[in-house]
Structure 1
Amino acid sequence: MQLTLPKQKSRYRQVFLLCFLVAAALFLPHCIADAVGGGGYFHYAGDFNDQQINFYQYANAFVKQGGTFSWATDLGSGFVNAYSFYLLGSPFFWLSLWVPARLMPWMMVPLLCLKMALAGGGAYLWARRWVRNEDWSVVAGCLYAFSGFTVYNIFFNHFLDVVALFPYMLASLDDAVLDGKRGPFPFWVALNLVNNYFFFAGQAVFLILYFLCMLAGRVYKIGPRSFAALAGETILGCAMGCVLLIPAGLSLLQNPRTIDPYNGYGYLVYGNSQQYGAILYSAFLMPDAPYFKDMFQEGILKHTSMTAYLPLVGIVGGIAFCRGRRNHPFTYILKTCILCAFVPVLNSAFYALNSSYYARWYYMPVLVLCGATAYVLGRPHLAQRQVPRAWRLVALVTLSAAAFAVVPNTDEDGNFKLGVVDLQPRFWGIFAVSVLGVLLFWALWKLAAGRRGWARAFLAGVLAFSFLYGTVHLSLTKYPQWETDANLIAETYDSVDEINEILPEDAFYRLDAYGAHNNLGLWFDKSCLQFFNSTVAPSIMEFYPEVGVTRDVNSKPAAQNYALRGLLSVRYTLVAKDSADDWANEKLAGWTLCGETSAYDIYRNDNWVPMGFTYDYYVTADQLEAVPEEERAQILMRALLLDEDQAETYAGLLQPLPEAELDDRSFTTYTEDCADRRGSSVANFTATRTGFTAHTSYADQELVFFSVPYDDGFTATVNGVPAVIEKVDNGLMAVLVPAGDADITFTYHTPGLSLSAGISLAGVMVYGVYLLILYRIRKRKLNAEPC
Structure 2
Amino acid sequence: MTNKIKDILKTHKYLLLSFFLPVLLLEGIAIAEKIQPFGSESFLIVDALHQYLPFFADYQEKLKSMDSMFYSFHAGLGYNFLGLWAYYLASPLNLVIALVSKSMLTMILSHLYVLKIALCCFTAAFYFRKRRGKDEISIVAFGMAYGLCSYMVGYSWNIMWMEVMMMLPLILYGIDKLIKEHDGRLYCFALFISLWCNFYMSYMTCLFLILWYLLYSHKNVKEFFTNGFRFAGYSLLSGVMAAVVLLPAYLGIMQTSSAKLQFPKELWYGTFGNLFSRHFLGTTPLTMAVDDSKINLYCGILTLLMAGFYLAVREIRLIDKIRRLLLLVFLFFSFNMPVLGYVWHGFHDQYGIPNRFAFLYIFALLAMAYEGYCVLVRGKRKVSLWIYFAVILCGILIGITMKTSTVKLEMKTVYATVAAIAVYMICFALYQKKIFRKKIFTTLICFLFIVETAAMAVMGFQKNGTVDTDSYFQDTKAITEVKKEYQKNVEIRMELISGRMLDESIWHTLNGMTLFGSTAQGNVVDMMDQLGFYTGVNEYLYEGATPFTNNLMSMKYQIYRPYDTKYTEFSLKESVGNVTVYKNPYRTALAYTMDDLVQTWDYEDYNPFYVQNDLATSAFDVDELFHMVKTAKPQLNDCKITSDNGDGEYVFENTSARPDNMVFTIRSTKTRQLYIHFDGSQVENTVIEKNGEQVLTGRLDSQIIYLGNVQKGDEIRIKMQLKQDNEMSGVVRLTAAELDEEVMEELAQRMQENAWKLTSAKGNHLSGTIHAQEDQMLFFSIPYDKGWTVKIDGKKVKTKALGKAFLTVKVPEGKHKVSLTYVSSGFKEGAILSVAGFVIIILIMLFSQRKKKAAVKEI
Task: Classify the secondary structure of the residue corresponding to 1:244.
Answer: helix
Change in 2 beyond 3 A, CA 1:55/1:274: same
Aligned with residue 362 of structure 1, among 358, 364, 378: 358
Residue 27 of structure 1 and its aligned partner are, at CA, apart by 2.5
Residue 353 of structure 1 and its aligned partner are, at CA, apart by 3.4
Q: CA-to-partner distance for each residue in 1:322-375, whole Å, 9 max, x for gaps? A: 455653232232122112222222223323333547411111121121122233
Q: Which residue of 1 aligns with 2:388?
A: 385
Q: Which residue of 2 aligns with 1:462?
A: 449
Gaps of 5+ in 1: 1-7, 406-426, 641-653
Residue 576 of structure 1 and its aligned partner are, at CA, apart by 3.6
Residue 232 of structure 1 and its aligned partner are, at CA, apart by 2.5
Q: Which residue of 1 aligns with 2:558?
A: 573
Amino acid at match of 1:389: I
Is 1:476 the counterpart of 2:477? The answer is: no
**In the aligned structure 2, how far is the partner of 1:251 from the partner of 1:348?**
20
**In the aligned structure 2, how far is the partner of 1:447 from the partner of 1:253?**
54
Change in 2 beyond 3 A, CA 1:85/1:702: same
Is 1:373 the counterpart of 2:353? The answer is: no
Residue 519 of structure 1 and its aligned partner are, at CA, apart by 1.9
Q: How does 1:377-416 map to 2 (within 5 A)?
A: 377-380=373-376, 381-382=383-384, 383-393=386-396, 396=399
Aligned length: 713
Amino acid at match of 1:568: M
Amino acid at match of 1:604: K
Is 1:550 the counterpart of 2:535? The answer is: yes
**In the aligned structure 2, how far is the partner of 1:225 from the partner of 1:314?**
34
Q: Which residue of 2 aligns with 1:509?
A: 492
Q: Which residue of 1 aligns with 2:44?
A: 44
Is the contact made by 1:286 and 1:469 (CA closer than 8 Å) also made in structure 2?
Answer: yes
**In the aligned structure 1, how far is the partner of 2:405 from the partner of 2:256?**
42
**In the aligned structure 1, how far is the partner of 2:234 from the partner of 2:486?**
54
**In the aligned structure 2, how far is the partner of 1:463 from the partner of 1:562?**
61
Is the contact made by 2:243 and 2:834 (CA closer than 8 Å) also made in structure 1?
Answer: yes
Q: Which residue of 1 aligns with 2:30?
A: 27
Residue 466 of structure 1 and its aligned partner are, at CA, apart by 3.3
Residue 54 of structure 1 and its aligned partner are, at CA, apart by 2.8
- TM-score, reference length from structure 2: 0.75
Is 1:667 the counterpart of 2:651? The answer is: no
Q: Which residue of 2 aligns with 1:408?
A: none
Task: Classify the secondary structure of the residue corresponding to 2:76.
Answer: coil
Task: Classify the secondary structure of the residue corresponding to 2:838.
Answer: helix
Q: CA-to-partner distance for each residue in 1:650-686, whole Å, 9 max, x for gaps? A: xxxx87x88x778676422563323431343223354
Q: Which residue of 2 aligns with 1:61?
A: 61
Task: Classify the secondary structure of the residue corresponding to 1:315.
Answer: helix
Amino acid at match of 2:338: P
Residue 597 of structure 1 and its aligned partner are, at CA, apart by 4.0
Task: Classify the secondary structure of the residue corresponding to 2:782.
Answer: coil
Change in 2 beyond 3 A, CA 1:138/1:330: farther
Q: Which residue of 2 aligns with 1:237?
A: 238
- When structure 1 is superposed on structure 2, of 375-384 and 72-81 the one drifting more is 375-384
Q: How does 1:180-219 map to 2 (within 5 A)?
A: 180-215=182-217
Q: How does 1:21-170 map to 2 (within 5 A)?
A: 21-30=24-33, 32=34, 35=37, 38=40, 42-64=42-64, 65-67=66-68, 68-88=70-90, 90-94=91-95, 96-99=97-100, 103-131=104-132, 134-170=136-172
Change in 2 beyond 3 A, CA 1:139/1:330: farther
Is the contact made by 1:190 and 1:242 (CA closer than 8 Å) also made in structure 2?
Answer: no
Is the contact made by 1:284 and 1:309 (CA closer than 8 Å) also made in structure 2?
Answer: yes
Q: CA-to-partner distance for each residue in 1:621-658, whole Å, 9 max, x for gaps? A: 57443461465235434434xxxxxxxxxxxxx87x88
Residue 541 of structure 1 and its aligned partner are, at CA, apart by 3.0
Is the contact made by 1:546 and 1:730 (CA closer than 8 Å) also made in structure 2?
Answer: no
Residue 170 of structure 1 and its aligned partner are, at CA, apart by 1.1
Question: More helix by proportion, 1 or 2?
Answer: 1
Is the contact made by 1:537 and 1:711 (CA closer than 8 Å) also made in structure 2?
Answer: no
Amino acid at match of 1:778: K
Is 1:330 the counterpart of 2:324? The answer is: yes
Is the contact made by 1:247 and 1:750 (CA closer than 8 Å) also made in structure 2?
Answer: yes
Residue 126 of structure 1 and its aligned partner are, at CA, apart by 2.1
- TM-score, reference length from structure 1: 0.82
Cα RMSD for the two superposed structures? 3.4
**In the aligned structure 1, how far is the partner of 2:450 from the partner of 2:546?**
53
Is the contact made by 2:766 and 2:819 (CA closer than 8 Å) also made in structure 1?
Answer: yes
Is the contact made by 2:305 and 2:387 (CA closer than 8 Å) also made in structure 1?
Answer: no
Q: How does 1:336-347 map to 2 (within 5 A)?
A: 336-347=330-341
Q: Which residue of 2 aligns with 1:645?
A: none
Amino acid at match of 1:365: Y
**In the aligned structure 2, how far is the partner of 1:37 from the partner of 1:767?**
47
**In the aligned structure 1, how far is the partner of 2:542 from the partner of 2:36?**
31
Change in 2 beyond 3 A, CA 1:507/1:368: closer
**In the aligned structure 2, how far is the partner of 1:510 from the partner of 1:43?**
31
Is the contact made by 1:508 and 1:610 (CA closer than 8 Å) also made in structure 2?
Answer: yes
Question: More strand by proportion, 1 or 2?
Answer: 2
Change in 2 beyond 3 A, CA 1:137/1:570: same
**In the aligned structure 1, how far is the partner of 2:237 from the partner of 2:342?**
27
Aligned with residue 531 of structure 1, among 515, 521, 524: 515
Is the contact made by 1:311 and 1:437 (CA closer than 8 Å) also made in structure 2?
Answer: no
Change in 2 beyond 3 A, CA 1:434/1:512: farther
Q: CA-to-partner distance for each residue in 1:597-636, whole Å, 9 max, x for gaps? A: 4453333333563222233573455744346146523543
Residue 693 of structure 1 and its aligned partner are, at CA, apart by 1.7
Residue 211 of structure 1 and its aligned partner are, at CA, apart by 0.9
Amino acid at match of 2:139: S
Is the contact made by 1:570 and 1:608 (CA closer than 8 Å) also made in structure 2?
Answer: no
Is the contact made by 1:567 and 1:633 (CA closer than 8 Å) also made in structure 2?
Answer: no
Aligned with residue 419 of structure 2, among 439, 459, 476: 439
Residue 209 of structure 1 and its aligned partner are, at CA, apart by 0.5
Aligned with residue 299 of structure 1, among 291, 297, 303: 291
Residue 148 of structure 1 and its aligned partner are, at CA, apart by 1.0
Change in 2 beyond 3 A, CA 1:113/1:389: same
Task: Classify the secondary structure of the residue corresponding to 1:614.
Answer: strand
Task: Classify the secondary structure of the residue corresponding to 1:260.
Answer: coil
Is the contact made by 1:592 and 1:606 (CA closer than 8 Å) also made in structure 2?
Answer: yes
Residue 521 of structure 1 and its aligned partner are, at CA, apart by 3.0
Larger relative contact order (CA 8 Å, sep ≥ 6): 1
Q: CA-to-partner distance for each residue in 1:676-703, whole Å, 9 max, x for gaps? A: 3134322335443114222224554543
Amino acid at match of 1:671: M
Q: CA-to-partner distance for each residue in 1:87-128, whole Å, 9 max, x for gaps? A: 22x232245545556543332133222212221122122223
**In the aligned structure 1, how far is the partner of 2:110 from the partner of 2:291?**
32
Task: Classify the secondary structure of the residue corresponding to 1:618.
Answer: helix
Q: Which residue of 1 aligns with 2:830?
A: 756
**In the aligned structure 2, how far is the partner of 1:322 from the partner of 1:538?**
48
Q: Highest CA radius of gyration, 1 or 2?
A: 2
Is the contact made by 2:530 and 2:603 (CA closer than 8 Å) also made in structure 1?
Answer: no
**In the aligned structure 1, how far is the partner of 2:617 from the partner of 2:489?**
26
Change in 2 beyond 3 A, CA 1:624/1:698: closer
Q: Which residue of 1 aligns with 2:3?
A: none
Q: Which residue of 1 aligns with 2:481?
A: 498
Residue 526 of structure 1 and its aligned partner are, at CA, apart by 2.3
Task: Classify the secondary structure of the residue corresponding to 2:770.
Answer: strand
**In the aligned structure 2, how far is the partner of 1:13 from the partner of 1:711?**
48
Change in 2 beyond 3 A, CA 1:530/1:253: closer
Is the contact made by 1:139 and 1:455 (CA closer than 8 Å) also made in structure 2?
Answer: no
Q: CA-to-partner distance for each residue in 1:275-322, whole Å, 9 max, x for gaps? A: 8664343333656464566xxxx7336xx7x21111454634334434
Change in 2 beyond 3 A, CA 1:400/1:617: same
Of all paired residues, the percent bearing the same amino acid is: 16
Residue 524 of structure 1 and its aligned partner are, at CA, apart by 2.8
Residue 81 of structure 1 and its aligned partner are, at CA, apart by 0.9
Is 1:592 the counterpart of 2:571? The answer is: yes
**In the aligned structure 2, how far is the partner of 1:625 from the partner of 1:142?**
54
Is the contact made by 2:281 and 2:300 (CA closer than 8 Å) also made in structure 1?
Answer: no
**In the aligned structure 2, how far is the partner of 1:278 from the partner of 1:561?**
48
